[in-house]
Structure 1
């Protein structure tokens, strides 16, 4: 059995270890986890962990990247990382972390969750309701900035993925 909780500063070392176990290029793990841990921050930056017998075996890190990285007033949640220790897989831990995150996002009125995934995990994400693009193909969003359609591509051999929690509405942001 496992439990989930918000990560705290005491989890920084194990999160670094778990992130280093992920396939190269999948997780752009931060050098410093501390500002991503503890209570949910104003930036929407949060990390949730799963524990088995008191040991952290998985984590999910998400933030409002469109606002943080691009200064766009889009309340979209970016899944930066989901990783489950290989020895703890196939127990529903990843599914629980995603389900909890989707429920949390819905309560906050977040309309879209997006991120990237490995090609070999695309069907797993589809089973959780996500749309997954072909490798290298961008997600052509429903948002334009100054008349240009906003597209989000995944890096390397990963696939862009997204989940609309509310029906998308075409919008053009003027900057």
Structure 2
């Protein structure tokens, strides 16, 4: 998420400039990074214990379901203009770390690590920029792994 967050900010220079001008925005920026590019794309698999209707679709007893966290984080009934990256988005009830009994136990540590890493990176390297065009950034294509990039070439 540190790499994805850095990439996302570099791809949205207006948002990055706002964060550079006001470092106190880092918490909101990280929450938006988590929502915008959910690293863990899938929730735990579920099997219906009885017939149930979800979103107009019947799921029969015994059928399996994968819930897409990334899709939930773009729900228009929850997020205004969900495909737009906005470090000022509030509230931001994303599901990047799951929810309820399936909430990530390390979410607070992960948030702190991302906040510290990105804040330090943009403070120490104020001229940080991509060293390759956006379309040359290599994304993880193995769907058994969390979403991410394989490398992030930068210069400063």
TM > 0.5 between the two?
A: no
Higher RCO, 1 or 2 (CA under 8 Å, sep at least 6)? 2
Q: Tell me the TM-score normalized by structure 1.
A: 0.24
Structure with larger Rg: 2
Q: Tell me the TM-score normalized by structure 2.
A: 0.26
Q: Which structure is higher in helix share?
A: 2
